[in-house]
Amino acid sequence: MLTLSQKAIELPASPIRKLVPYADAAKKRGVKVFHLNIGQPDIDSPKCVMDAIHNINLNNLAYTNSAGLESYRKGLAKYYNNLNIDVDYKDIIVTTSGSEAVMFAMITICNPGDEVIVMEPFYTNYRAFAIQYGVNLVPISTKIDNGFAVPPIEEFEKYITPRTKAILLCNPGNPTGTLYSKASMEKLGEIVKKNEIYLLSDEVYREFCYSDAPHFSAMQIKGIEQNVLLLDSVSKRYSMCGARIGCIVSKNKDVIAAILKLGQARLCSPVIDQMAAEAALDAPADYFAEVKAEYIHRRDVMVEMLNNIPGVFTPKPMGAFYTIARLPVEDAEDFAKWMLEKFEYNGETTMVAPAAGFYATQGSGKNEVRLAYVLKVEDIKHAIKCLEEGLKAYPGTIK
């Protein structure tokens, strides 16, 4: 009898993508679907990126160094140095996406049965990666009612056991938009140092912070240079989701040497994508200023409209481009399916990501959805109006 592995069975379907067949069916019926389910910005990539792609002149797409193009790594080191992150290009391994960076980090520092502490709700694929490598995610719950505020940092210490290998955070956070302050990061550094564990810091959304204080990287915490693995990607920063290029940055030479062996096993990351990512380093400052201002505008419109819908609540996120909303329904996934299968408003409907898949604690997030404010403001207005009308018509809406 042909069977699947237990890991294959246990792997969860992505809450971001699992409803895609329903969306595809809706489109075939002629319904316009507003995709608020996925962090795919409609903002153009920097012109320097597209120019570089159009002007590539190669006769042979050969393998490159498993650590990544040296010129790109040197460019990345300069980028980080300009952010007061003191690294050398030899501290950087280019990965095939930020996802591979997370996977490489987990497999490098964890044995099966080891534990990684994470705040929930968290980026859903962390759980899929943990299952692949037999790692146990230990969630610290945060709540929508106080805006998913970071709990007292001392709370983290309560969850540390002899099997704890790391704390994994996303700053700013996906899916909540939570932003860690410098003070919180430094306290976290004290815990990491005291307990001799790693700090895995996913900083993919670094450029999208909406507070007055600048982003504070885990790499800037003094005294834990050997403990930190910075995980990064070009996907969101430059609106280059299709260019699957990320990186791992660490001052720990043993970690970098081990990760390089993983890189050698997959040979190298895509060469053209690396060339595009290297060109992105020349994006002008005003590109980020304009994009950030646009996301703030989109956030404000979405948050205000959501909170004006009876029974709906969402906090105001301070980073990234997501928010989680609580809906007046018992089962947000059933509602999301219904919106795609059975509802339309003026020939349109809205696709959201059920939030339960972003939690590890059973039963959490059942009446919540994650929404990405990655569409133009007019599209966001139409999408939230569809959501409002859908809640009026949905048989399971709690009045």
- Measured CA to CA, the distance from residue 83 to residue 288 in angstroms comes to 14
Is residue 20 a part of any domain in this protein? yes
Residue 265 burial (CB count, 10 A): 8
Two tokens, residue 9:
């069975």
Beta bridge partners of 246: 95, 233
Residues of the chain with pLDDT under 70: none
Is residue 261 a part of any domain in this protein? yes
Two tokens, residue 245:
């290029």
Point out the domain boundary residue: 230, 246, 280.
Answer: 280
317/362 same-domain check: yes
255/123 same-domain check: yes
Task: Say if CB 245 and CB 270 are below 8 A apart.
Answer: yes
Residue 171: DSSP 8-state: S
322/261 same-domain check: no
Nearest to 198 by CA among 207, 185, 189: 189
Contacting residues for 341 by C-beta, under 8 A, at least 6 apart: 22, 25, 26
Is residue 87 a part of any domain in this protein? yes
The whole domain housing 92 covers: 47-280
Tell me, what's the pLDDT at 243? 95
Phi, psi torsion values for 3, nearest 5 degrees: -130, 165
167/316 same-domain check: no
Contacting residues for 208 by C-beta, under 8 A, at least 6 apart: 172, 236, 291, 292, 295, 319, 320, 321
Two tokens, residue 393:
């018509």
35/54 same-domain check: no
Two tokens, residue 70:
């040296």
37/88 same-domain check: no
Is residue 1 a part of any domain in this protein? no
Point out the domain boundary residue: 261, 280, 299.
Answer: 280
194/116 same-domain check: yes
CATH of the domain at 316: 3.90.1150.10
Number of domains in the chain: 2
- Measured CA to CA, the distance from residue 185 to residue 170 in angstroms comes to 12
210/126 same-domain check: yes
34/96 same-domain check: no
Tell me, what's the pLDDT at 221? 98
134/29 same-domain check: no
- Measured CA to CA, the distance from residue 257 to residue 177 in angstroms comes to 33
Tell me the Ramachandran region of residue 350: left when phi exceeds 0, alpha when psi lies from -120 to 50, beta otherwise. Answer: beta
Burial of 132 (0-12, 13-18, 19+ CB in 10 A): middle
CATH of the domain at 224: 3.40.640.10
Cα–Cα distance list, 368 to 118, 312, 336, 338 (Å): 19, 9, 10, 15
Tell me, what's the pLDDT at 45? 96
117/257 same-domain check: yes
Tell me, what's the pLDDT at 153? 87
Q: What is the per-residue pLDDT across 210-256, written as a single tens digit (0 to 9) for each?
A: 998 899 999 999 999 999 999 999 999 999 999 999 999 999 999 99
Is residue 398 a part of any domain in this protein? no
275/130 same-domain check: yes
Residue 356: DSSP 8-state: G
Is residue 399 a part of any domain in this protein? no
Is residue 82 a part of any domain in this protein? yes
Phi, psi torsion values for 249, nearest 5 degrees: -125, 130
Tell me, what's the pLDDT at 242? 95
Tell me, what's the pLDDT at 399? 82
Residue 208: DSSP 8-state: -
Is residue 320 a part of any domain in this protein? yes
Point out the domain boundary residue: 280, 298, 329.
Answer: 280
